[in-house]
Amino acid sequence: MTRDLFSSFLASESIFKNKEVLRHSYIPDVLPHREEQINEIASILASALRGETPSNIFIYGKTGTGKTAVTRYVGKELHRAGKEKGKPTHFVYINCEVVDTQYRILQNIANHFIGEWTERIPFTGWPTDEVYAKLREMMEKARGVVVIVLDEVDKLKGDEVLYNLSRLNTDLDNAKASVIGISNDLKFTEFLDPRVKSSMGEENLIFPPYNADQLKDILDQRAQMALKENTLDEPVVPLCSAYAAQEHGDARRALDLFRVAAELAERDGLKRIVEKHVRRAQNKIELDRVTEVVRTLPTQSKLVLISIIVGERIQDNITPLTTGEVYSIYKELASSVGIDHLTQRRITDLVSELDMLGIVTARVISKGRYGRTRHIRMSTSIDKTTEVLDEDDLLRGLARYRPKIQTRLL
């Protein structure tokens, strides 16, 4: 019996030829509509092949604009070209969201050179300047140019590392270092130490968002590689592209939509992806996002969210709730579960956070004589949100609470 559990799923033939190419981490051999950026980076890094130090680069762009893919692609090509020409070039990629302290960054870079007659640097224990010294020593031995990519560099704790890395070259004889910083925050450099700022931002690149047509090209290319013949309805790719273009031209979003749509089609037991799968994929991705966000909210924020839901229930959705109404419901709910209530000022901020997370909308309006406030309403499904909130032991069932307060005389 157990042995047959999966056989029925495997029996129906998959529509995928190679699903891997739909993941974000996959880097194709051709990156459509990024030729300009590729050439620009390549022209800067080319000096590495002449044995000179390439300028440091800063790359900006929103999520899904190809920053990481382009950089890794150029890095791969550079490494290959360096080998051919007998000029040693090293390419170290670090995601600063994962590796976010000075010590671990240096350790990561240093461990890249392992295997060339050197010992491993331990996770912890060494003074930072000793790791730094060791790194220099290793780079001297390895020779050549080291290109260090710091992805999501704005997530770094402190700019000391950036300063030290930008100074690397002054203490090196046989090796050169060049740093590429990637960020989706345009204002990131404003907060940097001016010394770091000037040395890091020798070259600046901005990656613009893709438009719908460009997204379509990207998806066409991936679909070719990912799917078997005749598994795709014609309008699917344009629809995915259109949705993703609305979302600031995010290629990652386009790929996710497409992949989820394909998975849904497969789960339906179909041999073909059609339009409705894309719409369902859109819903599923959105629902997953909301579920995850709501689930991880702090208790007080959950309580505010519940207050808004309770408020909407008694208002019957005629007029949106105001801050004052939400606050009085919130206070009542808080005391009913025995949680200390926060001040209205604080609740104002929590509502703003919920707004930014996209689970409620709150916009300032004026009611003239009757003051200025914000109209607050749920922007996600009340039922689904309630379902997620019910997972919280402390707050279970609270969203169905009937408050004693009469909020408004209508």
Q: What number of other Cβ atoms are within 10 A of residue 216's Cβ?
A: 21
Smallest Cα–Cα separation from 373: which of 327, 337, 333? Answer: 327
Binding mask 92-121 for DNA (x = CB under 7 A): ---------x--------------------
The strand pairing partners of 373, in sequence order, are 365
Q: How far is the CB of 355 from DNA (least distance, A)?
A: 9
Contacts of 391 (CB under 8 A, 6+ apart): 295
Q: Candidates 50, 346, 384, 396: give the one binding DNA (CB under 7 A).
A: 346
First to last CA, the chain: 63
Q: How far is the CB of 112 from DNA (least distance, A)?
A: 22
8 is a site residue for DNA (CB under 7 A): no
Q: Candidates 370, 402, 404, 409: give the one binding DNA (CB under 7 A).
A: 370
CB nearer DNA, residue 277 or residue 331: 331
Residue with tokens 């607050």: 376
CB nearer DNA, residue 60 or residue 330: 330
Q: Candidates 282, 322, 385, 386: give the one binding DNA (CB under 7 A).
A: 322
CA 123 to chain centre: 27
402 is a site residue for DNA (CB under 7 A): no
Q: How far is the CB of 340 from DNA (least distance, A)?
A: 7
Q: Which stretch binds DNA (CB under 7 A): 70-78, 106-114, 133-141, 346-354?
A: 346-354
Q: Which stretch binds DNA (CB under 7 A): 5-13, 177-185, 232-240, 337-345?
A: 337-345
Q: Candidates 324, 332, 357, 382: give the one binding DNA (CB under 7 A).
A: 324
CB nearer DNA, residue 371 or residue 397: 371
The answer to whether 37 touches 66, Cβ cutoff 8 Å, is yes
Written in H, E and C, the secondary structure of 276-325 is HHHHHHHHHHHHHHHHHHHHCCCHHHHHHHHHHHHHHHHHCCCCCECHHH
Q: How far apart are CA 325 and CA 329, in angstroms?
A: 6
398: tokens are: 């609270």
Q: How far apart are CA 148 and CA 150, in angstroms?
A: 6
Q: Candidates 3, 187, 369, 402: give the one binding DNA (CB under 7 A).
A: 369
Q: How far is the CB of 368 from DNA (least distance, A)?
A: 2
The strand pairing partners of 181, in sequence order, are 58, 150
Contacts of 184 (CB under 8 A, 6+ apart): 60, 61, 62, 63, 67, 152, 154
345 is a site residue for DNA (CB under 7 A): yes
Q: How far apart are CA 146 and CA 163, in angstroms?
A: 16
Q: How far is the CB of 238 from DNA (least distance, A)?
A: 38
Smallest Cα–Cα separation from 55: which of 43, 65, 64, 66? Answer: 43
Q: Candidates 17, 141, 267, 372: give the one binding DNA (CB under 7 A).
A: 372
352 is a site residue for DNA (CB under 7 A): yes
Scan residues 116-175 and list those touching DNA (CB under 7 A).
Answer: 128
Q: Candidates 7, 8, 230, 343: give the one binding DNA (CB under 7 A).
A: 343
Q: How far is the CB of 11 from DNA (least distance, A)?
A: 49
Using DSSP, how many helices (H) and how many strands (E) does the chain show?
Answer: 15, 7
Question: What number of chain residues touch DNA (CB under 7 A)?
Answer: 29
Q: Candidates 42, 225, 242, 342: give the one binding DNA (CB under 7 A).
A: 342
Q: How far is the CB of 331 from DNA (least distance, A)?
A: 11
Residue with tokens 């999520």: 63
Contacts of 7 (CB under 8 A, 6+ apart): none
Q: Candidates 300, 315, 361, 379: give the one binding DNA (CB under 7 A).
A: 300
Q: Which stretch binds DNA (CB under 7 A): 12-20, 82-90, 145-153, 348-356?
A: 348-356
228: tokens are: 């078997």
312 is a site residue for DNA (CB under 7 A): no
Region of residue 117 (left: phi > 0; alpha: psi -120 to 50; beta: else)? left
The binding site for DNA (CB under 7 A) comprises 101, 128, 298, 300, 322-325, 340, 342-346, 348-352, 364, 366-374
